Homo-oligomer: A and B are copies of this chain.
Amino acid sequence: MRRRTFLKAAATSAAAGAASTVFAVPNVIVAQRTLQWQMATSWPVALDTLYGGAQQFAERVAALTGGRFQITPNPAGKLAPGTGVVDVVAQGAVPIGHAPAYYAIGKVPATAIATGLPFGMTLRQTNAWFYEGGGLDLMNEVYAKRLGIIAFLAGNSGAQMGGWFRREVNTLRDLQGLKMRIAGLGGEIMKRLGVTVQTLPPNEIFQALQTGAVDAVEWVGPYDDERLGFYKVAKFYYYPGWWEPSASLEIQVNLREWRRLPRDFQQAIRSAAMEINMSIPARYDARNAAALQKLQQEGVQLRQFPKEIMDEAQKVAREIFNDFAARDADFKRVYESWSKFKTETDSWFGLNEFAISGYLYGKS
């Protein structure tokens, strides 16, 4: 009965003048209407791994629906500022977005967990928690209640680098008064370690580092960093980026719009998101590897953050998480699920994957 009604509705909405007899197909429910959506993204076109991911998503949705569902990605600043994508999707001003969730941290602290906490989980742990540890369902409960959106994992940077420093940092004391461009919770932690934290938009970072207005900047990893040219004005490239052991991106859909979609369109969004959740990291992994080689040829000096700094930063990070948990029940609930999963998988990954990785990468 429902199928018949649906086909009838499709026929009714057909272009005037076309014969309205519906082509009979047994056991088939396919939306016959077409739909066009604009998509807001957090990416400038120049971040081609990410913007390219948004394009791949849109192409897949179109291909999967035989061209019936057309989504057009727009770069940051067009439909919304890069940091405002979640907002416009939540408001319903734009039906769909591609962005990290944590720009909504002011409204919903748990979005920080969705994107990835400092000293959190690596990419594989993160995906396992979201898909198999109940993480995605838990987050979507919070999103539905507090933002009116539904989200699907849709990309990850992998572990980010620790950024570019004009001088070495060997002790906690070296951080005192250091001027650094660093965003998000990483910035909050650095602040508590004595760093003078600045947030600068992408197009101002290079110049600030060049003129010495800042002593250090963090961005993403070798591929994106090389294109911004930081290696020309700062010699020391630090690792690991402990504030982003992985950073998840999402396809976010306004919940009212979502509920109106035919099932096969919903499924196309779901599958295309999962596809770029696979392909964006693959692209970063391949390109970062090649870019690292180039940077080393340019004379970049790699430096590992001293354990003293890592340990203190982790201590401060946990204090921040506990503050959030005390203030926000949703954060607490998601953080508990996340922490339990992290502990369990840390043991497993720390055993087998770590042993074979170490051997293969020539570290043991």
Q: Which A residues contact B (CB, under 8 angstroms)? A: 10-11, 14-15, 18-34, 60, 63-68, 119-125, 127-133, 158-161, 221-222, 239-242, 245, 263-264, 267-268, 271-272, 274-275, 277-279, 281-283, 285-290, 292-293, 302, 304, 307, 310, 341, 344-364
Question: How many chain copies?
Answer: 2
Q: Is the CB of B30 within 8 A of A66?
A: yes
B residues in contact with A302, CB < 8 Å? 351
- A159, B64: Cβ atoms closer than 8 Å: no
The answer to whether A267 and B60 have CB atoms under 8 Å apart is: yes
Chain B residues with Cβ below 8 Å from A285 are 124-125, 127-128, 132, 345, 348-349
Residues B360 and A133 in contact, CB atoms below 8 Å apart? no
Given contacts A18-B23, A347-B289, A359-B310, contact A66 B352 (CB under 8 A): no
Instruction: Give every chain B residue within 8 A of A24 (Cβ-Cβ).
Output: 14-15, 18-19
In the complex, the chain B residue whose C-beta lies closest to that of A274 is: B275
Q: How far is the CA of A346 from the CA of B357 in the complex (A)?
A: 9
Main secondary structure of the interface of A (DSSP, over half): helix
**Are A23 and B32 in contact, CB atoms less than 8 angstroms apart?**
yes
Once the chains bind, are B21 and A25 in contact (CB under 8 Å)?
Answer: no
In the complex, which residues of chain B have a beta carbon less than 8 angstroms from the beta carbon of A272? Answer: 271
**Interfacial chain B residues near A10, Cβ < 8 Å:** 23
